[in-house]
């Protein structure tokens, strides 16, 4: 049988309350008593029952993280960062995959499913958009990650999509590229707040600031942002015969797919085409050539998100702060694909 506090109390010859005091590091316990209790715990192999504790305290010590899927590098690295950040607050992380499925995303935000065992939720939507922000129940501690939904009733941690995308294109302009293609735009063209839309906006702003006319043929829609689709888009662009000497891929996965297609076609990078991606996933440092990218501050995003969530969890029910929008710092990481040095 699994030992309980009662068993420990009996073994140590004290009351259950004293055991509780020792476990929770309360003051007012005589050292000798404490020792007796600790050795009883050791001896019986006692572990607190976290369900009971959770029932009593209203806290489980676990937060949920809902992402599309971990096989996508960006989300694996995000989950890694989130788990590390949560650890600092002594929180476990229950990971849920939505597989980019709208119904599952709805289930997650409406609090169905398993996530009731958690004290709060970090949610990175892939299908839910601006129009769905009413679905989010502001009653449960909740932090939104990414850029698909703005102005919701909850905290929101995201990146400077427009300005960092502009900086990426500026980087290509600085090294003398003038015909800069973009892959990863959203297939439907309406302006919106999705990452693709925001990054396209940054692209246009950079060109405009440089006085370069926009060539719509250089903007290629790709969805979803998978490697094979990046490769495919690049093959099409090459086949089209439209000249270009720079490429801004809206994420690194697309960029790596594009590198592959460029390689197949015998194009030199950065000689014929300079390439920059977005996300700065680990892999970017080790492709051939290594890939320049935008580091969106993933660790900072994860840490900020967890901190905000913890604050919301600890918030007294009385005085809720208004929803916060935080944007992380970004930086351009120049590597071989735009003519800079060895991996690093």
Partner DNA sequence: CTGAAAGCGCTAACAT
Partner DNA sequence: ATGTTAGCGCTTTCAG
Q: Note whether 323 binds a copy of itself by CB under 8 A.
A: no
Residue 257 interacting entry, from a copy of itself, DNA, none, C-beta within 5 to 8 Å by type: a copy of itself
Q: Is residue 335 at the binding interface for a copy of itself, with CB under 8 A as the rule?
A: no
79 interacts with, out of DNA, a copy of itself, none, CB within 5 to 8 A per kind: a copy of itself
CA distances from 11 to 15, 20, 33, 37 (A): 10, 14, 12, 8
| DSSP code per residue over 265-294 | TT--TTTT-EEE-SS--GGGGTSSSPPBEE
23 contacts which partner out of DNA, a copy of itself, none, CB within 5 to 8 A by kind?
A: DNA
Q: Is 33 in the site for DNA (CB under 7 A)?
A: yes
What number of other Cβ atoms are within 10 A of residue 8's Cβ? 24
Binding mask 99-128 for a copy of itself (x = CB under 8 A): ------------xx-xxxx-----------
DSSP state of 127: S
# residues near DNA by CB under 7 A: 28
Alpha carbons within 13 angstroms on the beta-carbon side of residue 15 total 4
**Is 44 a residue that touches DNA (CB under 7 A)?**
no
Indicate which of a copy of itself, DNA, none lies near residue 73 (CB less than 5 to 8 Å, by partner kind).
Answer: a copy of itself
* Cβ closest to DNA, residue 21 vs residue 124: 21
Which residues face 249 on adjacent strands? 183
60 binds DNA (CB under 7 A): no
- Considering only residues 270 to 299 of the shown chain, the ones binding a copy of itself according to CB under 8 A are 282-283, 285-288, 290
Q: Which residues, at least 6 apart from 316, have a Cβ–Cβ distance to it below 8 Å?
A: none
Distance CA 56, CA 297 (A): 38
Q: Looking at beta carbons only, is 130 or 139 nearer to a copy of itself? A: 139
Tokens, residue 321: 């702060």
Instruction: Please say which residue, 48 or 129, places its beta carbon nearer to a copy of itself.
Output: 48
Residue 320: both structure tokens together: 């809720």
Determine if 48 is a binding residue for DNA (CB under 7 A). Answer: yes
The phi and psi torsions of 254 (rounded to 5 degrees) equal -60, -45
**Residue 263 binding: pick among a copy of itself, DNA, none (C-beta 5-8 Å cut-off by kind):** a copy of itself
32: DSSP letter: H
- Cα Rg for the chain, rounded, in angstroms? 25
Looking at 6-14, 85-93, 200-208, 242-250, which segment touches a copy of itself (CB under 8 A)? 85-93
Phi-psi region of 221 (alpha: psi -120 to 50; beta: other; left: phi over 0): beta
- Chain residues binding a copy of itself by CB under 8 A are 47-52, 54-55, 60-62, 69-71, 73, 76-77, 79-80, 83-84, 90, 92-97, 111-112, 114-117, 227-228, 231, 256-257, 259-260, 263-264, 282-283, 285-288, 290, 343
């Amino acid at each position: 049988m699994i030992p309980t506090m009662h068993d420990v109390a009996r073994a140590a010859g004290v009351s259950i309350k004293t055991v509780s005091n020792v476990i929770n590091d309360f003051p007012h316990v005589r050292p000798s008593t404490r020792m007796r209790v600790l050795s009883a715990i050791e001896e019986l192999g006692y572990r607190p029952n976290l369900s009971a504790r959770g029932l009593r305290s209203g806290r489980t010590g676990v937060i949920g993280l809902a992402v599309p899927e971990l096989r996508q590098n960006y989300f694996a690295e995000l989950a890694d960062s989130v788990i590390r950040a949560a650890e600092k607050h002594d929180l476990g992380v229950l990971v849920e995959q939505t597989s980019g499925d709208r119904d599952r995303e709805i289930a997650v935000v409406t609090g169905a499913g398993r996530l009731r065992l958690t004290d709060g939720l970090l949610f990175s939507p892939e299908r839910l958009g601006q129009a769905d922000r009413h679905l989010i129940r502001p009653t449960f501690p909740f932090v939104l990650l990414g850029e698909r939904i703005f102005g919701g009733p909850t905290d929101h941690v995201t990146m400077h999509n427009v300005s960092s995308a502009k900086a990426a294109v500026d980087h290509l302009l600085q090294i003398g590229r003038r015909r800069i293609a973009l892959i990863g735009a959203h297939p439907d063209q309406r302006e919106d707040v999705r990452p693709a839309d925001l990054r396209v906006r940054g692209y246009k702003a950079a060109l405009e600031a440089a006085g370069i006319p926009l060539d719509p043929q250089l903007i290629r829609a790709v969805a979803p942002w998978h490697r094979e689709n990046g490769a495919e888009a690049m093959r099409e662009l090459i086949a089209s015969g439209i000249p270009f000497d720079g490429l801004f891929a809206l994420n690194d996965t697309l960029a790596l797919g594009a590198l592959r297609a460029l390689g197949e076609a015998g194009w030199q990078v950065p000689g014929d085409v300079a390439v920059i991606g977005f996300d700065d996933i680990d892999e970017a440092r080790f492709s051939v050539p290594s890939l320049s990218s935008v580091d969106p501050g993933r660790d900072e995003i994860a840490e900020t998100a967890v901190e905000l969530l913890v604050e919301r969890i600890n918030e007294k029910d009385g005085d809720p702060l208004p929803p916060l929008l935080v944007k992380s710092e970004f930086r351009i990481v120049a590597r071989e694909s735009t003519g800079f040095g060895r991996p690093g």
